[in-house]
Each structure stands twice: as structure tokens, then as C-alpha cells.
Amino acid sequence: MRRRWFGALVLIVLLAACGGAPASPPTSAPAAAPAATAAPAAAPAATAAPAAAPAATAAPAAAPAATAAPAAAGAGGTVARKDILVIPSNVNIPAPDIWNPYIPGTFILQGMNQNMMEPLFMLNYETGKIDGWLAESYSNNDALDEWTVKLRPGTEWSDGKPLTSDDVVFTINMLKQYAPQLNWSGAVKQWVKSVEAVDDRTLKFTLTGPNPRFVMENLAGTTSQAIVPLPKHIWEGQDPVTFKNPADAKTGAPIFSGPYVVKSFSSTEFDYKRNDNWWGAKTGAFKLPAPLEIRRPWVADNATAGQMLVNNESDVGGADTPSILKSLQAQNPKLLSYTDKPPIGWIDPCPRMLTVNTTVKPWDKKEMRWALSYAMNRQQIVDVVNEGAGATSSFIFPDYKAMKPYQDAIKDIIAPIGEFNLDKSHKLIEGQGYKLDAGTGKYVGPDGKPLSLDIVAPPFMEPWARMVVQQLNADGIDAALRTLEWGIFRDQTGRGQFQAATDWDGCGSVIEPWFGMQRYHKKWVNPVGTAGTEYVDNTSNAGRWSNDKYSELIDQMGSLPVGDPKVTDLMKQAVTIWADEMPDIPLVQTPAILVWNTTYWTNWPTADNNYIQPPGWWEHFLRHLVELKPAQ
């Protein structure tokens, strides 16, 4: 947001999360998503928060370029720049020919997630509601163990065949059958006792027990993605663990249901063309997107990506810092940011963290994990990496309005986590038998070996990772950074074959605490060397921490409806255990300084026009596409 054959090659997920993202550092995941993509002296005001719980409502060699798509606008002629949406990505994709979103490690944020796949519902952070997409409504019984979903009339696949309840049933049963080998399959096997097609438009999910979050968690997606249906007539008889869902110009494959289809692709660029026969426009459910084509080129560095915005060669991007944003806007007045008012940037749902593999000595001891936390000068990370944008973080929650009551309830519990105190760090390390070598300035264990920590990070996490390594070395820990390509990073962290990683491991709680906290449930712990369970945006519990009482409390939280006052008490008990054990080390909130070029396209989601969350690397970018307006 993903291992095995494609393990070291294929790429993700929150946000998620948080990845394939614009050419500035992506921010979740998370999701799918994650990939997702891709903090000040004072905490920013909440910027992107639902106000209420959702209501029930209606290898590195590039593959050869391939073409595919049914009749689309612009075919047979050159498309003018004004009709093309250009979105650079900072991820070079070693295995571009995989269009199977459920193989662990598959990179979906090159446009598959944003242009082609469609979820049943979408969680809108700005309203706190679950909006319909392929489906128009859902309902539940009083026991919360039966959920009925109604599809919109006229849903179709990109080859023109009807998308019906049978396709959804096929997809769910496929995930259940192949659990835990496919993304989302663990959750499906855990919760779905059965699913049936009542008729072509109606689905009935019978769960293994009460789950008030079933639709939000699985069918709407809290960050990068949700479960998306697959066409039964294409996938039936295939082995979904190895099936690449290859592109084929003759058949129009890969077949999905979204408004765009593949035009061409390679490891360095993905191009899509509009499907003028898209069901959403044909039925009147949505407007036909205005861009005739979408181009997603790989851009290796942020400076080049910024210059593309200035030169009107791209339409979507970002700025690493507020000063870079000002510089870009000074060169091109058509560049629009999410907000120009402090706090600059949209708060991503995935705070940055230092994830420690709790199976690796000496980091299996909580005292040593606490020593790492005390060594973190979080405010320095905010000031240096983000020029004061954003805020420090002492837990896994983002600073959203809807999360404030929960943040307030645990502020005393998590307060010690944010403390920068080298004396306390040294005392904890020395308490485990390490001594500081005066010559090297590094701690040495009783075996004469230095206390070392190997930290891995994907390229877009490098700024945070380098600061973490610098601070740990100043604390006497021999820390080193290895920057890994996205797929390799996800493979190694997912399999537990790492010591530490800078990531966004706790991503996901945007309107209530359960989703992010359940990522640390013991059920996600797999043996080292075994692929972890990818859920949304990232591998859940990559650090392989297991605590029975914590997991029990999470189960109790998950059985209660969103907003139930009992959730807060259970959360406080669980956070107390988490804070004591320190399975992950929170660092900073993640300000995403998003930039849009209005030369060719307008009506972007901003703080003043917040029809939906603004990142362009998650499934809700479909909503952006139907809202964008031509500027010329």
C-alpha cells in the first residue's frame, strides 16, 4: 500500500499511509495506500476532520509498454495539453505490468486506485459521512451482524458488461478463500460468515459477530482504499495469488469499472484515457470527468517536480516546506495551495513514526524502546524538516477535529512519550548493561559490540529518517539509514526482516480511535519471514508486538458503535498499556503542503472548498475527477 514472487519487486496501500504519490513526499500508507504515497512550535488547528461519526446512509527492469482501453476520447488524434491532467509520481515501479490490487506489494497508486478501481462507498473526512459510489445505500440489523448493501442502477465494467451483486459476492468469497495470502483477506475471513446476492442490485453480508464498523472499515476505506469488486467474468478460474491481471489492447484489459482505462504504461510513466462509456456518466450518477487523458510520469526529484509546476508541465504536486511553496507561487501565480494561512498544509491522517521490530534484541525490551523515544527531539524534526509546519506527535492519532475529544482524554497518559530527555535515555540504556565508550561516543554491550540500530526507509521518508538517525547517534546509538525502493521496503518490513523503520505504522483513525489502534492487535502478528497482513496503506503490526490485554480491549472497543461513550474508557485502558510498552515511537504530525496548478484545471479541493479530502493518491481522487473544471 505484497510479497512472494513479486515480493521484492512489486509495490503496495493507509497513507497509506501513504505513497505513489505526487512528487513531493507522499503521506499515507495507508490505503491502500494506502499509498498510499506519501511537523511547529505549536500544534496546528484541526484542518481536515469529520465532525461526527458516519451515519448509515443511502524488479527493476521495466516491462514493455502496453496499451489497452475501449473507445475513449482523444483516441486517434493528439490531445491538447489543456485536456490532459498531468500528475507526477515519485515512485519508479519495477513491476508495472501487475494490475492485481490484491497481491501483497502491488503498487496501486500509479492510477489504478485513483482512476480505474471503484469502491462501494467512500469515507469523507470533511463531513464525517460515508458517501455512496458503486453502491447507493446500506443498512444493518439491530444486532449489527447483518448488513445489506444496495448497488446503484446501471453499474458496468469498462468492457460494457454489467457490474452486479454477483461480482461483489465473487470478490468477497475469493478473498475469504485465499486468506491470508491476499490484501484485505484477513479482515474478510475474520468478519464475513457469508455473503449472498439477494438480487442483481442487493447484497446481504452475514457477519461472524456484531461489527458496527463493517461498512466504514471494509467497504468505504478509512484512508487510501477499500475492498473493490472485481469482474467475475475475468477473474473466475484464475489463481488470484499469482494472476497479474495483464493489460491487453485487444480486450481492453485490465477491466475495472472506473472512468479511465489504460492507454500505455512502463515503469516510468502510466497514461490513461477517459472511457466515454463510463457507467457513472451514462446513468447520471456522476459527471463525466473533464480530462480526456491522465498522465502520471515518474519524476525522480522534488526540484524537477516543482519546476514542472512552474512551467505548467504538471497540474498536481507539493512542496516540502512553506518556503518552497512561496518560491513556487512567486514563479507561477496560477499555483494554488490547500491553504495559504497558518498552519500551512493539510494534516495527513498518518503521523510519522519510528517502528521498532520487537522481536529483535535488545529492542524486544520496552526499556530500550523508551530509550529511543527519549532520544527523539521531536520539535527539532518539526523545525528542521518541515520549517515549523505541523506539530510534534505523542501517539498515533492525527490532529483532527473529530479526534480531539479522544486526544484530550489520553493527553496525560501519552504526555511522557513526547519528552526529549537524553539523561533518561542514557539511564535506561546503561540499565541494560551498556557502557559509553569515551573514544567512539557510542554505547558498547557486555559482548563488546556497539549498540546499533539499522533503520530502513522508503525514499520519500528520507528527510525524517535522516533526522532520526542523527539524533540517535548523538545519543550514543550507532544508527544507520538504508533507503530502500518502495517494494523492497514494504516486503522487508512486512516480513519482519528489519530492525527499525521510519513509517506511518499506526495510520487510520480519522473520526474515532479504534481503527488505528487495532493495527497493534496480536491477530496481525505473523512469524518473521512470513508476509504480514496488509490491510490499508501499510502492514498492520509490522513491529510484531503482542499483548493479550491490549488486544482484548481492542476487541471490546470494536464491538461498540462509533461514538459510544464506553469506547473512550476502553481506549484509555488500551492506551495506558500501549504507552507503557511503547511498541512504536511517535514522532511528528504530517503536514502535506499540496499544490495545484489552475492554469488548465480548477475546482480543486481546498480548505475553502473542502468537498472531500485533498490528497490525490487515494481512492477518493475519483471525486476530484468528477468535480474538476476546465480553466480554458
- CB within 8 Å of 361: residues ≥ 6 apart: none
Per-residue pLDDT, 534 = 62
| AA letter at 342 | P
Quickly count: other Cβ atoms within 10 Å of residue 448's Cβ.
7
Backbone angles phi, psi at 478, to 5 degrees: -80, 80
Residue 362: cis peptide before it, omega within 30 degrees of 0: yes
Give the rounded distance of the alpha carbon of 457 from its chain centre: 15
DSSP-based helix, strand, coil % in the chain, nearest 5: 30, 20, 50
Cell 524537477, residue?
304
CA angle 449, 451, 456 (to 5 degrees): 120
Alpha helix (H) residue ranges in 268-393: 279-282, 302-310, 322-331, 366-374, 378-385
Per-residue pLDDT, 536 = 53
Radius of gyration of the chain (CA): 23
- 498-523 exposure pattern, b = at least 16 Cβ within 10 A, e = fewer: bbbbbbbbbbbbbbbbbbbbbbbbee
β partners of residue 270: 265, 296
Cell 444493518, residue?
140
pLDDT mean for each 10 residues of the chain (632 residues) = 32 35 35 31 32 35 36 60 95 88 86 95 89 97 96 98 98 96 90 97 97 92 85 98 94 97 95 98 98 95 94 94 94 94 85 96 97 98 91 94 94 97 98 94 94 94 95 97 89 93 90 92 91 67 96 94 93 98 96 95 95 90 97 94
184 in Cβ contact with 227 (< 8 Å): yes
User: What Å distances lie between residue 71 and 83, 275, 446, 580, CA to CA?
Assistant: 17, 6, 70, 58
Spatial distance between the Cα atoms of 90 and 97, rounded to a whole number of angstroms: 18
Spatial distance between the Cα atoms of 326 and 205, rounded to a whole number of angstroms: 50
User: How far from each other are the two terminal CA atoms of the chain, in whole angstroms?
Assistant: 35
The total number of residues shown for the chain amounts to 632
Per-residue pLDDT, 490 = 85
Read off the C-alpha cell for 326. Answer: 512561496
Of 122, 213, 121, 210, which is closest to residue 168 (Cα–Cα)? 121
Spatial distance between the Cα atoms of 167 and 96, rounded to a whole number of angstroms: 25
Spatial distance between the Cα atoms of 421 and 480, rounded to a whole number of angstroms: 21
What pTM was estimated for this model as a whole?
A: 0.77
Spatial distance between the Cα atoms of 228 and 119, rounded to a whole number of angstroms: 5
Cell 519487486, residue?
9
Per-residue pLDDT, 33 = 31
